[in-house]
Chains A and B, each alone.
Chain A
C-alpha cells in the first residue's frame, strides 16, 4: 500500500520536474543515439560488405603480370593454402565518350563462357549476360552506367589496343572488386565518372589483346590457416619470369583498400566519438541529478520523519534516476536507429555496396543503459547521502544559513571592478567551487565536441590546400600510355595555351627495409621542377637528392627508416632487380606512401633512355578546352585530369560524412549546453528564490534580477569557453589519431571559424536556456518570499 503511494508520488515528482527530466533525458538520448547510430552503421556496412564479398567470392590474393601461358595456373594452384584460383584477362582501355571533357578510362575483364567467374563473381543488376563468342557485347560497371545514364541496349565506344570498337552494353553489373571504382595507378582517387569496368567474353576478346592461351591477371582464394606472406612470396616467385608486378593481399587491393580506409575512419569514429558522448552525457547526468535531489531535501526529510528507511528513500530515487535514464536510452536508441539508417544508406550509396543489410545491434542497448544508469545513480546517491546523514529535523529546516566570504577576485583587491550585483554573482559562484567547476566542465565539453565535429572540414581544407595548391602547381596532369620519350614534353609545351610543362616518370616498386616492405610508386622529377614541389613539415622546400631518394614521412615511419638510412628497392618494370638507395630526407604529405627522386636517376635505375609517363601542365586562363582537345588527339595520352575536378571530387568524397558529423555533434553540443545551463539556472532559481524575490521587493526590476541569475550562468559559460577550445583540440587530436591512415594523414589544424562556430552554438544554447528560466522568474511570488525564513 505504502509502496504504491510512493510510486504515485514518484510519478508526480517526475511530472513536476518534467522540464528537468526532459533536458537530462535529452542529454542521455544524444549520447546513446550517437553510440547506437555509429555502431549500427559500422555493423551494417561491414555486414553488407562481408556478405557481398562472401557470396561473390572476392579473392584473397591478387596479382597482375605481363603475360603467362595458361599452364602456369597449375603451378599457382599447387601453392599450399590456395583453395580457389581464377586466371584472367584484364586489359586497360579508353572510352572516348563525348559526354565528358576527358575520356574516362576502363578495364576489360574477361569472363568464362556463361559469365560465371569462379572468383570475383559478377552481380548482374540489369539486362543479361553477353552471348558466348561475341566480342562486341559487354556488361558495364553500375556506378559509371548510372553516372552517364547508360542502359542495356546502348552502345559504347571503346578504344582497345589503339583500335576504336563499338561495344553493345547488354547488362549493368557490379562486382566486389569494383565497389570503390578506382582507376589503376598510384595515387588515383576513386571516381565513378572516370573509370569503368567492362566484362566481356574472354575467348572472344583474347585475340584483341593477344592473350589466347594466356593470362595477365590472377585471383586466388585461400583456405583457413593459409600463410598469407608465404603465398604472396610464392606467387611472386612463380610469376616473376612472366613480368609479375607483385602479388597483393586484400588490404592492398585497389577497391578494398579505399573501402577499408573509409571503414577504418568510420569505425575509429564509431568508437571514439560515442565514448566521448556517453561519458559526457553520464557526467552531466551525475551533476544535474545531484542538484535536483538537493532541491528535494525537504521532501526527503519529511519521508524520513514519517518513518521511511534510508533504503526505501534510496530505492525511490533510484527509480527516479532509472526512469530518466530509461527515457533517455529508449529515446536515444530509437533516434540512433533512425539516424543510423540514414547514415548507413548514405554510405552504402557512397560505397556502391549492394545488398543493403541494416540492423541496429540490440547488444548496444544494455551497455548504453548501464553506463548512463551507473553515472546517474552515483550522482543521485552522493547527493542523497549528504541529506540522509542529517536528522529529519535538521533536514526539514532549510539548509543552514549560507556562509559567504569575499571571492578570490575580491581578495586580490579587484572587488571594486564589480558592482554589488556583480559581487553577489562572484560570491555565489565561489561558494560552490565544485558545482561551478563541474558546470564549466560540462559547457567546455560541449564546446569541445562541436570543435571535434567541425575540425575534419578544416583538416580537409588544409589537405587540399597543401596537396593540391601548395605542393602541386599544375592545372592539368596527363597520364601517358607507357614510358615515352621526353620529347613529348617539348611537344606539349608547343600547344598554345600551355604556359609550362614538365614530365615525370612514375614506376611501381616494392620498397623494403629489414623485414618491412611496402608497394609504392616511385616518382622521378626533372631537375628544374617547378610544378611539383616537395615540402617538409614546416613547409620548406626539400631539395631533390642526387642519387638518393626522399620518402613521405608516413612511408619512412612504416619502413622504420630515417634520413641517412638505406632502403631496398625492387623494380616492377624494366629490369626486375633489386637496388639499394640512400634515403636523403622525408617530406610531409597528407596522401600517399611515395618515394621521390631525380628523373635522370630513375631512368638510370630502370635502365631506360630518358623517358616520362606523366605530364604536368600549367595553362593560361581559359585555354583548357583547347588544350584538352589537342591532348586527346595525341596517341600516347591515356588520361587527362584537371586539378579543379580532382579537388571537387575530393570534397564530394568527404562532404556528406562531414556534414552529418558536424550536424550531429553540433546538436549534441547544444543539448549539453542546454542541459547544463537550464538545470543550473532552475536549481539556482529554486535555491535562491527568496533572495531574488527580496530584490524585487526592494524595487529591482525584472531585468535587473534576471541579470543576476542569467549573469551567474553566463559567467560559468564564459569561463568554460577557453577551456572548451582546449578540450576541442584534444578531442580533435583523438579523432585525427583514430583515423590516421597509412596514406591519409590528418593534420591537427583547427580554423578560427571552427572555434567561432563552436562558441556561437554553445552561447546561443546557453542564452536560450537561461532566458527560458527567466520566464519563471517573472512569476516569482513576491509575498511568499517574505513569509519564510
Chain B
C-alpha cells in the first residue's frame, strides 16, 4: 500500500509488490511478502522493524545489490528487477550511496583515499576533503581506518557515500555497531547531508526512537509493510535518546 505524501513529490525509487524468498535447504524463507514502497524526492525516511522483519532485504533490493523474487523496482522509468549485473553496477555507481553497519572501509586506504576511491569513478563528485569536512573529519584526512574510532569510521563511510552526490542515500543500521554518543553524531551528519545536499535518504534501524527524525516512517513486520506515517514535527538527531 503506497500513500502519496501530502506535497505529492516525485517518487525517486519505487518497489511494487516485491517478494523475496530465500531457499534454506528444504524450506523457503519469505523475507518479503509483497511490499509496495516508494522513496520521494528529498525526503528523510526511516524504515523500522524488528530484527528479521526484512529491512535489509528490502534495502538491498532497492539499492541494486539483490533482485526480488517477484515484483518490480522502478528507477528513472527502468525496472531494476530485470536489470543485468552490468546495469545494477552502473546504478550503484552513479545513483546510490550506501552506509552499512560495519562501515566496509578499505583498511589499506586513508580516510581521504577511501572517499577518493568513489570520487575517481563518479561523474560530478565533491572533492574528498570537502566530503570529509562535511562529516566533521576535515582534520583526519590522512588517517587509516585502524587509526580511527568506530564513529569516525562510520562518518568516513557517510562521506564516501555522499561524495559522488548520489540521488539516494541508503543507510542500513548506521548506528548498529556504535555507542550512543558516536551514533548521534553519525545521525546528525546524515541529517545534514539530507538538508544541505537534498539527498533522498533512507535510514534503516531496529531502534524505534530514531524514527522521530524522519519526515516519514515505514514500519516493516514479517516481510510486509505494517504501517506508514508522516511525522508532523521532526526531532533533531541531537535530541534523540535511546
Contact = CB atoms under 8 A, between A and B. Distances in A.
* 6 closest residue pairs by CB, A with B: A699-B93, A699-B92, A694-B104, A427-B108, A402-B107, A404-B108
Chain A CB within 10 A, most for which of B56, B94, B104, B146:
B104
Contacts of B108: 402, 404, 423-424, 427-428, 431, 691
Nearest to B144: A404
Chain A CB within 10 A, most for which of B92, B101, B117:
B117
B94 A698 contact: no
Nearest to B104: A694
A208 interface: no
Contacts of A424: 106, 108-109
Contacts of B104: 690, 694, 697, 785-786
B121 to A, nearest CB: 7
Interface in B24-58: 56
B201 to A, nearest CB: 17
Contact of B102 (A420, A695, A782, A786): A786
B89 interface: yes
Contact of A698 (B90, B92, B145, B177): B92
Nearest to B91: A699
15 contacts: A403-B146, A404-B108, A420-B109, A421-B117, A424-B109, A428-B108, A691-B106, A695-B117, A697-B92, A698-B93, A698-B98, A698-B118, A699-B91, A700-B121, A783-B66
A401 B86 contact: no
Interface string B110-146: 0001001110110000000000000000000000111
Nearest to B118: A698
Contacts of A694: 104-106
Nearest to B90: A699
Interface in A730-789: 782-783, 785-789
B89 A696 contact: yes
Contacts of A419: 120
Interface in A171-205: none
A788 B102 contact: yes
Nearest to A789: B102
Contacts of B66: 782-783
Contact of A783 (B60, B106, B109): B60
Interface of B: 56, 60, 65-66, 85-86, 89-94, 96, 98, 100-102, 104-109, 113, 116-118, 120-121, 144-146, 160, 172, 177
B173 to A, nearest CB: 10
Contacts of B144: 403-405
A782 B63 CA distance: 12
A623 interface: no
A769 to B, nearest CB: 23
Contacts of A787: 102
B89 A701 contact: yes
Contacts of B85: 702
Contacts of B101: 786
B146 A402 contact: yes
B107 A691 contact: yes
B179 to A, nearest CB: 16
Given A401-B146, A691-B108, 6 more contacts: A404-B146, A420-B113, A691-B106, A700-B121, A783-B56, A789-B177
A700 B122 CA distance: 10
Contact of A404 (B107, B116, B160): B107
B146 to A, nearest CB: 5
A427 B172 CA distance: 29
A433 to B, nearest CB: 14
Contacts of A405: 144
A270 B89 CA distance: 55
A697 B86 contact: no
Contacts, number: 87
Given A401-B145, A403-B146, A404-B107, A699 B60 contact: no
A706 to B, nearest CB: 13
A785 B94 CA distance: 21
A695 B98 CA distance: 11
A428 B107 CA distance: 10
Interface string A415-445: 0000111011001100100000000000000
B177 to A, nearest CB: 8
Chain A CB within 10 A, most for which of B92, B107, B160, B177:
B107
Contacts of B109: 404, 420, 423-424, 427
Nearest to A424: B108
Contact of A420 (B91, B94, B96, B120): B120
A452 B94 CA distance: 52
B65 A783 contact: yes
A700 B106 contact: no
Contacts of B121: 699-700, 704
Contacts of A786: 65, 100-102, 104, 172
B65 A697 contact: yes
A533 to B, nearest CB: 63
A696 B145 CA distance: 19
Contacts of A401: 107, 145-146
A359 to B, nearest CB: 55
A268 B117 CA distance: 55
A450 to B, nearest CB: 33
A704 B117 CA distance: 11
Contacts of A782: 65-66
Contacts of B96: 699
Contacts of B102: 786-789
Contact of A699 (B94, B145, B177): B94
Nearest to B85: A702
Contacts of B117: 420-421, 695, 698
A634 B89 CA distance: 88
A470 to B, nearest CB: 57
Interface string A77-117: 00000000000000000000000000000000000000000
B157 to A, nearest CB: 10
A431 B109 CA distance: 12
A397 to B, nearest CB: 13
A419 B172 CA distance: 29
Contacts of A691: 106-108
B113 A423 contact: yes
A219 to B, nearest CB: 77
Contacts of A699: 89-94, 96, 118, 121
Interface string A381-404: 000000000000000000001111
Nearest to B92: A699
Contacts of B113: 420, 423
A785 B104 CA distance: 8
Contacts of B172: 786
A785 B85 CA distance: 17
Contacts of B146: 401-404
A419 B116 CA distance: 9
Nearest to B177: A789
Given A691-B107, A783-B65, A788-B102, A420 B92 contact: no
A320 B172 CA distance: 42
A403 B118 CA distance: 22
B172 to A, nearest CB: 7
A404 B98 CA distance: 24
